[in-house]
Chain A
Amino acid sequence: MSGNHAIGESAIQAGCRYYFGYPITPQNELPEYMARRLSEVPGGVFIQAESELAAINMVLGASVGGGRAMTSSSSPGMSLKQEGISYMAGQELPGVIVNVVRGGPGLGSIYAAQSDYFQATRGGGHGDYRTIVLAPASVQEMADLTALAFDLADSYRNPVIVLADGILGQMMEPVKIPVRKRKKAFVKDYVVTGAKGRPARIITSFSMDPKDLEDHNWKLFRKYQRMEQREIRYETFLLEGAEMAVLAYGTAARIARGAIKRLRKEGLKVGMVRPITLWPFPAKIIQETAKHLRDFFVFEMSTGQMVEDVRLSLEGKGHIHFHGRPGGVFSTPAELSRIISRHYYQARRKREV
């Protein structure tokens, strides 16, 4: 199954009944899949929206109407969706937004990239908000993290971003779609159902009184703190006894894994920390790793975005090496292993001096 299809089927199994989208490469297989599958599922609604703006606002509407809703896009389309994501964060509405990232800026290219990291992890739209960002590195994770995204969105009443890329979207791998027999129940006391037998519900992000807005923003902030405490996810690979830790996510982490395997065979002590949540960022494991080794090698399919979070996590400790290539063109495991190897020996010589 392709990564894009895996997201679609997993979303449906997770109870998503509302999908709104607009065509853009390299994620078109996902809306196409949803168009077909949601017509088979009772209560399923698929609308090809007139724009990304309309699509995300339909998600907002279906969400405030109590449904599990999703949209997907790729980088230029994600820029358009930021308005709606900001409103959903402000109105505290759940929803899942998939970004199958392609190169930018502007129209960029249709090839895979990781250059939307800043946009995804810093809120993306206007205002002081955060979204949980999940970064799959395989087709299986495309499915698993999509299911998780719906639960996290409902748990926190907040939009959740699945940050994939063009390779993960198109790639085909065996996959087991997560099917949960007993669905988690979430309290949905914000849904507009008509004010029958209760006071009218007002779901808004707007405050006339600056004090009210401040209170609202502190409330959101405390929610983001809870996410930071509870929702950090990462994977470590061959970190035991390593002298250098590679930091990479998504497709870059897969390339890095291949490179590390080669390097280990050659006797180089290299391991990896792979963030799965890009926000909240797994700073603690990086700090922990810094107690055992000095050198961190960050590899991204961009000119350097996550590297800033690594730097912040290290708080001045350790030494950061970076290799990045912007969207469309990226290193093979063999190439990357040569680059890491060069940095590895340079670092070792420095330590010996």
Chain B
Amino acid sequence: MKKIYSKPAALKETPFHYCPGCGHSIIHRLIAEVLDETKLREKAICVPPAGCAVIAYNYLDVDMAEAPHGRATAVATGIKRARPKNVVFSYQGDGDLAAIGTAEAFHAANRGELITVIFVNNAVYGMTGGQMAPTSLLGQKTTTSPSGRTILRDGYPVKFSEVLATLKGVSYLERVAVNTPANVHKTKKAIAKAFKHQLKKSGFSMVEILSPCPTNWRMNAVESCRWIDQVMSKEYPLGVIKEVPC
């Protein structure tokens, strides 16, 4: 029988600890596939986040250097400046990037740092138990917005990719999702393109990935994927937000 698919080499043997239906394991696998296909694994350095993917180093078989919560883009800046020939990427959630790490991400993007951010947006703080995130939708019920997010108390969902798109240092920004096979495929392409922008020294690159969190959304896996399609992607439309030819 012909072998048509196997586990990517850049992924370790350890089984994922993520909840059933979670997007992290798909995103890890896509990064690993891209690193395999582009032969970048041996050049890659990842800055993992604080959050559910804090032990991403148990899965992705690349060099990893931890950063404090929110500071991944500053740490990645330091690594890239010291090792300009490596491919440096951070893996960050919505709270990490668009709340506590806003300043670091904004200025790394504005400097046009030659790093890539894998931005996992699941509209919730996953690891700490489902609190409201900067990207939580209006009306979304979380443990810290029990009656739903309100404008008056919590302000609006932050569209961080659109914010960064205003900066000249940014070379590539795309919003994708991992809720359908077609979208998973597009996500993989976007990750590969982001690394390409980094290698071509074109500027700062980021892929925002809408990712299901069934546990904290209090939904099953199928409902979560449908919610991304019918609700979440209405606030965060999929597609290329900025692309400078490289």
Contact = CB atoms under 8 A, between A and B. Distances in A.
A120 interface: no
Interface stretch (A100-108, A204-212, A234-242, A289-297): A204-212
A221 to B, nearest CB: 21
A212 B46 CA distance: 23
Nearest to A69: B78
Interface stretch (B67-75, B149-157, B180-188, B238-246): B67-75
Residue with the highest number of chain A CB atoms closer than 10 Å, among B45, B48, B80:
B45
B24 interface: no
A201 interface: yes
Interface stretch (B58-66, B134-142, B195-203, B208-216): B58-66
Given A192-B63, A194-B45, A195-B41, A54 B71 contact: yes
Contacts of A69: 78, 82
Contacts of A58: 74-75, 77-78, 81
B57 interface: yes
A interface, size bucket: 35 or more
Contacts of A328: none
B75 A61 contact: yes
B76 interface: yes
B107 interface: yes
A34 to B, nearest CB: 14
A84 B55 CA distance: 19
B42 to A, nearest CB: 4
Contacts of A203: 64-66
Given A57-B71, A57-B75, A84-B71, A62 B66 contact: no
Interface in B50-104: 54-55, 57, 60-68, 71, 74-83, 86-87, 103-104
The 10 closest A-B pairs by CB, nearest first: A61-B78, A65-B82, A57-B74, A196-B42, A192-B63, A50-B107, A58-B78, A62-B78, A61-B75, A57-B71
Contacts of A87: 66-68
Given A60-B75, A65-B80, A83-B71, 4 more contacts: A47-B81, A53-B74, A60-B67, A203-B65
Interface residues of B, number: 37
Interface residues of A: mostly helix, strand, loop or mixed? Answer: mixed
A18 B82 contact: yes
A4 B106 CA distance: 30
B77 A200 contact: no
23 contacts: A50-B107, A51-B103, A53-B104, A54-B103, A54-B107, A60-B65, A60-B67, A61-B76, A61-B80, A62-B82, A65-B65, A69-B82, A83-B71, A84-B71, A87-B67, A194-B41, A194-B86, A196-B42, A202-B57, A203-B64, A204-B65, A205-B66, A206-B55
Nearest to B41: A195
Interface of B: 41-45, 47-48, 54-55, 57, 60-68, 71, 74-83, 86-87, 103-104, 106-107, 111
A194 B74 contact: no
A75 interface: no
Nearest to B74: A57
A51 B67 CA distance: 16
Contacts of A196: 42-43
Contact of B79 (A49, A51, A54, A61): A61
Interface of A: 18, 20, 45, 47, 49-51, 53-55, 57-67, 69, 83-84, 87, 91, 192-197, 200-206, 208
A50 B104 contact: yes
B64 A65 contact: no
Nearest to B115: A61
Contacts of B82: 18, 45, 61-62, 65-67, 69
A283 to B, nearest CB: 33
A302 B215 CA distance: 53
B66 A57 contact: no
Contacts of B47: 61
Contacts of B74: 49, 53-55, 57-58, 60-61
A192 B45 contact: yes
Nearest to B100: A53
Contact of A200 (B43, B57, B83, B111): B57
Given A61-B76, A62-B81, A195 B54 contact: no
Contacts of B60: 200
A59 B78 CA distance: 6
Contacts of A18: 78, 81-82
Contact of A204 (B41, B44, B66): B66
A195 B42 contact: yes
Contacts of A54: 71, 74, 77, 103-104, 107
